[in-house]
Structure 1
Amino acid sequence: MRSFLTRRVFATALVLASSLSPVVASAAQPDSGERNSEHAAPARLLGEKIVPHKLDFRDTTVGGFSGIDRNRCTGEYVFISDDRSNLQPARFYTARLDVDAGGVHSVDFTGTHPFLQPDGSVYPSPALADGKAVDPEEIRVDPRTCTYWWAQEGDRPTAAGAPVIQPSIQFAARTGAYLGRLPLPPNYEVTTEERGPRRNQAIEAITFGADGRVVTSAIEGPLLQDGPVPDLQHGALVRVTKQTRNGRVLGQFAYPIEKIFAESDPSSPWGPDTGVPSLLAFPDDPDRYLVLERTWVAGAGYKIRLYDATTRGATDVQAMDSLAGQSVVLMRKKLVADFDTLGLSAVDNTEGMTWGPRLASGERSLILVSDDNFVADAVTQIVAIAVR
């Protein structure tokens, strides 16, 4: 999410939680579920590895990692960079990770390719884009074909006359060649009215479930018509959508994100940011997901939380034009990990996650990556944790 890039200059380095029982809430002012929150089986840290800042790899600048997934066909991991073609053309990287119960032992990059437009050209920088810029945020490996599906959140311009760039989920070959795109639900569209995703809060999260038959995506923050962003007193609702591979909407659900965890430094010109940068389907349960919540507050830094959530029993809200004031059964969730308690060297801008190898203990390993926004006071951090 690019808004963090400028904000890190002003930042000091460094809860609408609900249980897995049905929760009915009004989206006009979602109540905090802290008093009823439950914990899933706790996660534990396996290890971490920091990638050198602005590492040069094949004449590109490594960084801005907003998503990660594992390719079962090659055994490699793929990372998407959220460079909007400002440094080099929008691109992804492949790497081999040595991860086991003892931690993250090595990260060895093996390749990089730019994403290509339908005409075979690379994506231009925003200054030259004429409406064709992209903001890459998430990448997944198709479990059936081992090609890539990637999400970009477009742009709701702030300047008069600037082009609207629609969010999209596209398909790419392992060379980056354009293969197509997934039709998105109408309420994912950025409009010239006060409707649809906020700027920098569109699609940041996609995942495959049900052996690749279902694609689930999440909007990072509440749609404009669904109510305000979280503050110190209240959380908000974001929409999570299940679709078939050809785009048919199977259901859309309201996920409750936490209220802001701390007051902002009053000297900062930037307000807090919070939202869902990634979600990950459980292989054996088509309704169950890990959901990553990431919050940044000036003067307080990052708060990263991981939740175990389900759509089972939640209200299908796809026909609701607005969630504001509506009583709906929310997605239920349990806290898996607050990154402040894991013992990491730093809690940074974690944006991507995928399953790693299963451990001898019966636990699953989870691999996460942070987006350094290409600035010196942030890190590209690859973290491995164990979850039940």
Structure 2
Amino acid sequence: METKWSAALLVAVSGFACAQSSVTLYGIIDTGLSYYNHATAHGGSEVGVPTLTGEVPSRWGLKGIEDLGGGYKAFFVLENGFQPGTGALNYGGRLFGRQANVGISSDYGSLTLGRQMNMTMYALTNADVIGPSIHSMASFDPYLPNSRSDNAIGYLGKFHGVTVGGTYSFGRDAAGPAGPAATNCGGQVPGDFVACRQYTALLAYDSASFGVAASYDVIRGGAGASAPLNNSAYTDTHNIVDGYVILGPTKIGAGWIRNNLAAATHLQTDIFFVGATYYATPALSFDAEGVRNLQRGPAGKNDSSATLLIGRVNYLLSKRTMVYTSVGYMFNSALAANPVAAGGTVETGTNQLGVMIGLQQKF
């Protein structure tokens, strides 16, 4: 009997020993010099190192995976966002403000617990060729490049080109007041079940030559949260429909984003975008995108609308190192004050030019 138990224990231990696991350290450092005009009431310009992002936000992270057998794997992600110019932490000063989660994956999809990217982020990934750059649609809606959820449970499954996913957050954003609009809403408040809740959903299809996606995202306010979502009865809803097509060395993407803010006053905005990436060589690529923002106030007027044009040239010095230059021009309407650069400033009703020369290193 003792021999049998010893043999069984040996088999069990051998099974654990054979389970494969790995941990990866990775990151991107992306910064440079930026310029934009009309930054002050007297028309002054600003030159310096950008504070929020270059072509993409700088980050470093740890990710791990362990094979549990039977087609199941355990994983975790810890991802930090920071400012290269000062070393300061982004995302409300959190150590792992970009992601901090653990989960289980299989052929049936993945289940994730913790702070994670929600379905708004996934919906934009393939169609928006510019991405979360210094000159991007984030100038109109800072939530878009920051579409992550605290205290969340998420599912993402991919089946023969079809992707379905969703997240549910019990308290969408515990950091505040720093960060994108309407933060400081940790939620999970006794007696107020809906305070700071958020749910997102995604349906997408991708093939070798084209793809389409649609997402739905609702966030609720809470007492003490940043205005205008300082009441659990208030909501902010994002709907996205977009797609892309690949034609040889060219990728074309386009989409529509509607944002409805139902708070003390109602505000509706529509963002339309179309862009393209062209690879002249494997090392040299060109990006261009046009973004139109239509903002309607309580009277239904387009009182703060604007148009942003973006051009970018990227050159790979190696597989991990890239230099680039980005140019953006913002056309503001009479009552609009949308900056051309993420985190920038502009005079109301004034057009603005922004230029950046950057260096990006991946590891």
Alignment TM class, shorter chain as reference = 0.3 to 0.5
Whose relative contact order is higher, 1 or 2, with alpha carbons under 8 Å and at least 6 apart? 1
Max radius of gyration: which structure? 2
TM-score, length-scaled by structure 2: 0.37
